[in-house]
Structure 1
Amino acid sequence: MAASEKARAKAEKAVGKVAQAAGRAVGNQKLVAKGHAAEAAGQAREAKESMKDTGRR
């Protein structure tokens, strides 16, 4: 996995977790949903890069 893509995936997941926590804290379901979407995007990016690494071996 490219280091920059790995970092980007981790950052997206972290932003998603923070947004979810903030949304739950203030009772904003829209923010929780956006956080969940950002976390899912980070997981998808991580899975994509993992598949690319598997193909290279």
Structure 2
Amino acid sequence: MADNGCLLAAFAFAQNQVKLRVRFSLNNLKLDDDVLNIPLFQAEGTQDSRAGRH
């Protein structure tokens, strides 16, 4: 069963309210339209945007 965060993200995406999507992959750091690609070797420096929320 999906958690509320996944459902909210799916709803926001369907409503075109997503300003920036983040993808982790082996590709270099780049921004294409609304997709930010973060290389896996740099992923350690990121933090969960949901941290601290209840």
TM over 0.5: no
Greater relative CO, 1 or 2 (CA 8 Å, sep 6+):
1
Greater helix fraction, Structure 1 or Structure 2: 1
Greater strand fraction, Structure 1 or Structure 2: 2
Query: TM-score, with normalisation over the residues of structure 2?
Result: 0.31
